[in-house]
Structure 1
């Protein structure tokens, strides 16, 4: 639903010529219809993999402009820090699960969204989708209320204190209410949203294995780097080898579900093209199809070498950019080729 609304806004704002092309795409112009919006992280980063899909789905199913994946993520972090155990995600007043629903409120919003046969505030899918439905409704009420202030602030206040309190104060309850709990709840979430705001959506044109691989890779934007991690099935924790995978002196890879550079590429092309696991192996498997830097197409593979072997691989994303998993401590992202890795290390490109 939300994708359609965003597309409609773009159509209204576009120049007449561009709008005509878009309309042609919608009615079946084959060339234009091949341009698709990849997930591109949905504007989301820094969330556990188990939550990511559900946050994006909850955002997608809400038709309110105030709803964003980052808003839901910041709210979940404030509610439970993404914890799911009864010991860590049960409040003193009886709120339950990662989205902290009271039993009575859960009766209204909870469903078996993950189709596992139970309707539970402890299931991540059920909890996040219920959170999204409730926040979507509150955003709609906030928009219609005419109360001053950010509609997101009003909706968050309604989630925390109940919409009745928002009506009582005709806005976000003041700091004097409930010892400032609701006031600070709203302020903290709005200020921490930026921590979860990931890359925007990526427009990928064309069809074929390269563009398809780029679209698939784009669904992982914002997922953390994990040395030795990742697989054709998705993000996975990695390992440390005495040199790689460490962050601040600790083995980050073993506790981080994500990708390294070559596992992301392998994931992107699987199963249409089953590339080997490492960057060096991927180059050797495709070196007979070398591509000059002037002829790069979406999905082509770019390599960097320090003289002792290829150490990095990335997917060409168009406009002199690459989509890649850079290094420990970073997330899957889109960057300019010139700054993705040292320019002097650029080795060449191939087309799988």
Structure 2
């Protein structure tokens, strides 16, 4: 049973116990490792299991200072996206990826993932609670008139308690608590950029094609992995002696991502279960050709060397003369002009699934 704490200021003050003396300043580059999944919505470089919850927490907060990158950088600082009890329990008892103390969790925690349990160890519950608390702190920061900006003030409140922000009339100085809150705020703001991804593609209209394009657009920024990906999402790929290599090494086997055809398959699944390869997808849809002047969002475009024969690439029409596709090893899911996405002489045509 939840134990609700009546005074928000007192609840936030409990956070001080969770963080003072246990803040670990992390400054390595693990956030860009290939096991991290990138995507649209202004977010990249986070584990796939965190992604939808970060985006939801951001969407739930109407404060302009809230961004997916801010929440991601804060989670990385708090726990480095760790979720096990061994790795994500602090010496003073803070728990889970967002490092909540039990008393604070009683106020902010909810069953956000709908599994029937309210737990700081559940990624969905923890991230939504983090976002809810940060949103509340941003409102307090906005109304306070204190200098430093709402993001800095909210982070300081999350780390040291809003009472400390009030005490100092802003972010506590470096002399406070051996600089832990000061450096906590500074480091998170300085590492936000690594988590900023491309925005979502705006798709108008309705129907299978538009819906598929919307789904695919959420994976913008995801790395290309030859042989990787499928109906369930991104996955590691493989090298076949010719494809999937970078710098002489097999990159695909260590990269979580999509190739061109798996992105298309993922986008249309399960409403339309397209085959896995670009050549097979052309074969499955070639009886429904579309002229270049009549392209609609979600239509499939195909390329073959010299414009005929084996299809080596597929993309989705994104409107305004652009396509959404996963181009090749070393790149990522992106929007590109149809005229330059692939060699123009290789263009075969378009189909409507």
Please say whether Structure 1 and Structure 2 have the same fold, judged by a TM-score greater than 0.5. yes
* Separation of aligned partners in 1, 2:343 and 2:194: 27
Q: Which residue matches 2:167?
A: 168
Give the deviation of 1:248 after TM superposition.
Answer: 5.9
Tell me the alpha carbon deviations over residues 299-338 of structure 1, each in whole angstroms, 9 at most, x when there is no partner.
1112233457332211111112111223344432222234
Tell me the alpha carbon deviations over residues 198-253 of structure 1, each in whole angstroms, 9 at most, x when there is no partner.
22233222222221221221232233333322222333333333443445666544
Counterparts in 2 of 1:190 and 1:305: CA distance versus 1, 3 Å: farther
Q: Which residue matches 1:209?
A: 208
Does the Cα contact within 8 Å between 1:46 and 1:224 map onto a contact in 2?
Answer: no
Does the Cα contact within 8 Å between 1:314 and 1:323 map onto a contact in 2?
Answer: yes
* Separation of aligned partners in 1, 2:246 and 2:73: 24
**Is the counterpart of residue 318 in structure 1 residue 319 in structure 2?**
yes
Equivalent position SS for 2:156: helix
Task: Give the count of matched residue pairs.
Answer: 313
Equivalent position SS for 2:202: strand
Tell me the alpha carbon deviations over residues 153-205 of structure 1, each in whole angstroms, 9 at most, x when there is no partner.
11011111111111111111122222222222212222222222222233222
Deviating runs (4+, > 6 A) in structure 1? none
Equivalent position SS for 1:288: coil
TM-score normalized by the length of structure 2: 0.80
Give the deviation of 1:50 after TM superposition.
Answer: 0.5
Q: Which one has the bigger helix percentage?
A: 1
Kindly report the root-mean-square deviation, in angstroms, between the aligned alpha carbons of the 2 structures.
2.3
Q: Which residue matches 2:110?
A: 111
Counterparts in 2 of 1:317 and 1:238: CA distance versus 1, 3 Å: same
Give the alignment of 1:197-236 within 5 angstroms. Answer: 197-236=196-235
Q: Which residue matches 1:24?
A: none
Q: After superposing the two structures, state which structure 1 stretch, 116-125 or 68-77, moved more.
A: 116-125
Does the Cα contact within 8 Å between 1:290 and 1:350 map onto a contact in 2?
Answer: yes
Give the deviation of 1:255 after TM superposition.
Answer: 4.7
For structure 2, the 5+ residue unaligned runs are: 1-38
* Separation of aligned partners in 2, 1:239 and 1:89: 33
For structure 1, the 5+ residue unaligned runs are: 1-39
Q: Which residue matches 2:83?
A: 84
